[in-house]
């Protein structure tokens, strides 16, 4: 089956960025089967559910069925666009099916998946991990090429492997008009996490729970979108602007005339063009939100940063995305009787015994919940601990100093008493 509500397809075609994340998750109940999902990202960087389907197995046939329905659906809503950007893992059948149905599509691969592939091939360790993610998150070619040459020195085979990846994976490769710098499928995984609790339920119960979740989610955002003004930014864009404004304090601007500027950040210089909304670092074009260099210029020129944020993060687009909502539904017992064929459940039943709920992880995959030792604290920017530990550490050190000073005071008081 393939399923979507009108509010979802209208919302996606109306306001969302043209990127679609796809994934398949196994059903863990009585029937075997796979739930295929397509998820987009809204203006507030939250997930926006597109169609989901249930098929027997992941294969070229089942993915072709899914993509064909998706294309027909877009055509039904008068969208002839066929150069969508898709992001996924390397799942069975996806590539051939995708390019058969959408020959002009762009394909991004999830970097988390790509890194796992590298790890399985034997390239791992803290140094490779660091270089890989710098290359994956490089907003400009210079940083990418520089890091790739370091990877080449580390291991020539790893360099060859990464150079020959056919899908797009490093941020600087992405189409700027998409305005989306996501290079992992974490947003699709978060929808999978929501359906996980119900994937061992009968198919209709699963579908009903997902419908209910989508209705609730779209309803709350529909109410929020109503009050948004044309130049209002979403919470996500506001947050990014605030962080980048903070970081922009140490940049120095030199005007070059005709809306062009040179911004010095530490000892590196970046050219900024206000009219084109571009910066040499590539972050502005890549994310659609001014980078710290662009922001320094905007503040320097006494302009409003909101005017330089992509329309994909503003009120009108948010209103289009949540311009409609999923209407409430009566209980199935109250439905009118329809003369339609019954849909058969997925073929193939499980053997006796309870199927495992947890996914079996491969030998090279990290254990569930294991934190990377290179995690960075968001407060003090140091490696090796997180913000919670940092806060606790600071609080305990404050307590010790306070206790020490109060005990010192106590001692002097005692001495004074003795003296009198």
Nearer to Zn ion, 200 or 265 (CB): 265
Contact 114, 90 (CB under 8 A): no
What is the rounded distance in angstroms from the CA atom of residue 51 to the CA atom of residue 45?
A: 19
Chain centroid offset of residue 85 CA: 14
Smallest separation (angstroms) from Zn ion to the CB of 261:
11
Alpha-carbon distance of 160 to 151, in angstroms, equals 10
Cβ closer to Zn ion: 4 or 281?
281
- Check residue 295 for interaction with Zn ion (CB under 5 A): no
Three-point CA angle 23, 24, 25, nearest 5° = 125
- Least distance to Zn ion from the beta carbon of 147, Å? 18
CB of 408 to Zn ion, least distance (A): 50
The answer to the question of residue 279 lying near Zn ion (CB under 5 A) is: yes
Structure tokens at 159: 């360099």
**H helices within 248-323, ranges in order?**
283-287, 292-300, 315-321
| Nearer Cβ to Zn ion (9/289) | 289
Residue 211 Cβ vs Zn ion, minimum distance, rounded to whole Å: 43
Phi and psi, residue 31, nearest 5°: -95, 145
Which residue of 7, 34, 233, 291 would you call a contact of Zn ion, by CB under 5 A? 291
Name the residue nearer to Zn ion (CB basis): 110 or 281: 281
* Contacts within 8 Å (CB) and 24+ apart, 294-297: 294/263, 295/241, 295/244, 295/245, 295/248, 296/248, 296/251, 296/252, 296/253, 296/263, 297/253, 297/261, 297/263, 297/272
Task: State in angstroms the smallest separation of the CB of 172 from Zn ion.
Answer: 13
Q: Does 253 bind Zn ion (CB under 5 A)?
A: no
Rank residues 291 and 326 by Cβ distance to Zn ion and give the closer one: 291
Q: Which two tokens mark 243?
A: 């962080």
CA–CA–CA angle 306, 312, 316 (5° rounding)? 80
Kindly tell me which residue out of 39, 40, 281, 298 binds Zn ion, with binding defined by CB under 5 A.
Answer: 281
| Residue 293 near Zn ion by CB under 5 A | yes
| Between 49 and 291, CB nearer to Zn ion | 291
Binding mask 97-136 for Zn ion (x = CB under 5 A): ----------------------------------------
Residues that bind Zn ion (CB under 5 A): 279, 281, 291, 293
């Amino acid at each position: 089956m393939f399923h979507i509500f009108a509010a979802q397809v209208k919302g996606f075609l109306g306001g969302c960025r043209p990127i679609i994340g796809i994934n398949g998750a196994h059903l863990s109940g009585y029937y075997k089967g796979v739930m295929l999902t397509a998820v987009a990202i809204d203006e507030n960087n939250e997930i926006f559910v597109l169609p989901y389907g249930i098929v027997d197995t992941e294969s070229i046939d089942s993915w072709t069925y899914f993509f064909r329905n998706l294309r027909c659906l877009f055509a039904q809503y008068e969208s002839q666009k066929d150069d969508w950007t898709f992001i996924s893992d390397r799942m069975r059948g996806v590539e051939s099916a995708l390019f058969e149905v959408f020959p002009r599509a762009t394909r991004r691969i999830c970097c988390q998946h790509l890194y796992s592939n590298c790890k399985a091939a034997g390239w791992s360790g803290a140094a490779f991990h660091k270089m890989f993610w710098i290359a994956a998150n490089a907003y400009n070619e210079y940083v990418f090429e520089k890091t790739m040459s370091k990877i080449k020195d580390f291991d020539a085979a790893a360099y060859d492997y990464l150079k020959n990846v056919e899908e797009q994976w490093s941020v600087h490769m992405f189409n700027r008009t998409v305005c989306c710098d996501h290079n992992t499928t974490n947003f699709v995984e978060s929808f999978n996490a929501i359906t996980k609790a119900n994937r061992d339920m009968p198919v209709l119960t699963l579908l009903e729970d997902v419908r209910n979740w989508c209705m609730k989610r779209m309803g709350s955002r529909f109410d929020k979108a109503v009050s948004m003004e044309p130049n209002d930014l979403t919470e996500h864009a506001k947050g990014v602007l605030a962080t980048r404004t903070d970081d922009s304090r140490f940049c120095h601007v030199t005007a070059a005339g005709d809306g062009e500027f040179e911004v010095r950040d530490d000892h590196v210089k970046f050219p900024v063009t206000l009219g084109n909304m571009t910066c040499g670092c590539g972050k502005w074009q890549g994310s659609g939100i001014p980078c710290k260099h662009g922001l320094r210029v905007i503040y320097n020129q006494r302009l409003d940063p909101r005017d330089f944020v992509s329309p994909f993060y503003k009120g009108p687009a948010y209103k289009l995305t949540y311009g409609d909502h999923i209407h409430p539904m009566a209980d199935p017992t109250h439905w009118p009787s329809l003369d339609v064929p019954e849909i058969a459940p997925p073929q193939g039943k499980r053997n006796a015994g309870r199927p495992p709920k947890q996914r079996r992880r491969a030998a090279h995959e990290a254990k569930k919940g294991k934190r990377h030792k290179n995690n960075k604290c968001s407060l003090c920017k140091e490696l090796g601990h997180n913000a919670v530990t940092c806060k606790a550490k600071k609080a305990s050190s404050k307590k010790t100093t306070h206790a020490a000073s109060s005990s010192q005071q106590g001692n002097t008081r005692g001495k004074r008493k003795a003296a009198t």
